[in-house]
Amino acid sequence: MKRRIQNEIMKTIAVIPAYMEENTIGNIAENAKTHVSQVIVIDDGSTDNTSTNAKAAGAIVIRHRKNKGYGGAIKSAFYAARKYNADAMVILDADKQHDPGEIPVLLDSLYKKNYDVVVGSRFLDSRNGKNIPFYRKIGMKFLDLFTNTFAKGDFDTQSGFRAYSRKAIQLIEPDENGMGVGSEVLIKAKKLSLSIGQVPITVNYDTRKPLRNPLMHGGTVIMTLVKIVAEKHPLVFFGVTGFVLLTGGMVTGSLVINRYNALHELPVGFALITLLFSIVGIFMITSALTLYAIQDSIKRTLQDRELERREMELAMENIETKY
């Protein structure tokens, strides 16, 4: 259905990433259809009847020829939303973990509170704690801590139930193919100065074995965060790490010198550790300074080009005014 907000018809879509979800996708798509203008299913290389059942439920299906991962599906979701010219997009899982009946909750918060991104949080409602397996809850909180450090918020960063405004759809371009895309999108949204809100949602974890290994999920998210920090803050990532290693090398080096002076013998183990720490530390500090210089040079170049573009636009305006 189309939503009417302030006398305007809003085009809303629900996008459902799906991989081998033939048993649930039809029901999810049908229920989601009652709350949005169109349902789009991203079939991420399934070899079962996921696409067939999604089409039967009235969904548009975008099918990847091979499995690209959750991040690849999210990339396709944003691409589809832009092509469909959507005013809002809701993304939810295909495995019945999320209740399509709660789509209006996210959309209402998006429109009425003027958020650009709304996260469906599993932790705002204390009753959800009973439904989340303990090991998952610990893992989620750990990953939330990492991501929120850079997203500068207190979000349920691994929740796949989210809503995005037209502005967010146009500006956010995910790069990650793996499970780290959820963290990446929030960090990018914050850097783009998009407003982010949360609403409580219910969650259902059934007894079947999850398709994604929780350890692999966590590892992928952490690697994504490390990559983001390394790219955006080379002085922090490489410089601080290099300084710590170099300091460690100096400490072990002093132990080597003291041992040699006292006993006239070289502790080979400590000597090798000193050499390793010192070389890697110097290399990382040098890399940090080099990457920072390159990053700063690119930033200045882009700023100069933007200034030239604005000056050109101003000059053209003056020409048009004269004529």
Looking at 185, 207, 231, the residue that finishes a domain is 231
Residue 213 has pLDDT above 50, yes or no: yes
pLDDT of residue 35: 95
Q: How many CB atoms lie within 10 A of CB 207?
A: 4
Answer yes or no: do 224 and 239 share one domain.
Answer: no
Residue 42 has pLDDT above 60, yes or no: yes
- The pLDDT confidence band at residue 178, using thresholds 50, 70 and 90, is confident
Mean pLDDT for the stretch of residues 124-132: 61
pLDDT of residue 211: 53
Looking at 231, 259, 283, the residue that finishes a domain is 231
175 vs 78: CA distance, rounded Å: 11
Average pLDDT, the chain: 81
Answer yes or no: do 42 and 113 share one domain.
Answer: yes
Q: What CA–CA distances, in Å, run from 198 to 77, 106, 173, 219?
A: 21, 8, 21, 25
Mean pLDDT for the stretch of residues 118-144: 65
Residue 6 has pLDDT above 50, yes or no: no
Among the residue ranges 13-27, 175-189, 205-219, 276-290, the one predicted with the least confidence is: 205-219
Looking at 179, 214, 231, the residue that finishes a domain is 231
Domain count, the chain: 2
Mean pLDDT for the stretch of residues 241-254: 88
Answer yes or no: do 83 and 207 share one domain.
Answer: yes
CATH number of the CATH domain containing 38: 3.90.550.10
Answer yes or no: do 132 and 22 share one domain.
Answer: yes
Total-model pTM: 0.67
Among the residue ranges 99-113, 130-144, 248-262, the one predicted with the least confidence is: 130-144
For residue 72 the two structure tokens come to: 């690849």
313 vs 67: CA distance, rounded Å: 45
Among the residue ranges 45-59, 127-141, 242-256, 301-315, the one predicted with the least confidence is: 127-141
- Residue 238 · residue 287 · CB < 8 Å: yes
Answer yes or no: do 303 and 291 share one domain.
Answer: yes
- Residue 179 · residue 77 · CB < 8 Å: no
Answer yes or no: do 107 and 201 share one domain.
Answer: yes
Residue 25 has pLDDT above 60, yes or no: yes
What would the 3-class secondary structure string for the chain be? CCEEECCEEECEEEEEEECCCCCCHHHHHHHHHCCCCEEEEEEECCCCCHHHHHHHCCCEEEEECCCCCHHHHHHHHHHHHHHCCCCEEEECCCCCCCCHHHHHHHHHHHHHCCCCEEEEECCCCHHHHHCCCHHHHHHHHHHHHHHHHHHCCCCCCCCCCEEEEHHHHHHCCCCCCCCCHHHHHHHHHHHCCCCEEEEECCCCCCCCCCCCCHHHHHHHHHHHHHHHHHHHCHHHHHHHHHHHHHHHHHHHHHHHHHHHHHHCCCCHHHHHHHHHHHHHHHHHHHHHHHHHHHHHHHHHHHHHHHHHHHHHHHHHHHHHHHC
Mean pLDDT for the stretch of residues 131-158: 61
- The pLDDT confidence band at residue 294, using thresholds 50, 70 and 90, is confident
Q: Which residue has the tokens 């090398």?
A: 249
pLDDT of residue 162: 96
Q: Which domain holds residue 226?
A: 3-231
Inter-axis angle of helices 240-263 and 268-322, nearest 10: 160
pLDDT of residue 199: 94
pLDDT of residue 7: 38
Mean pLDDT for the stretch of residues 286-305: 75
221 vs 160: CA distance, rounded Å: 14
Answer yes or no: do 170 and 201 share one domain.
Answer: yes
Answer yes or no: do 206 and 274 share one domain.
Answer: no
pLDDT of residue 264: 81
pLDDT of residue 28: 96
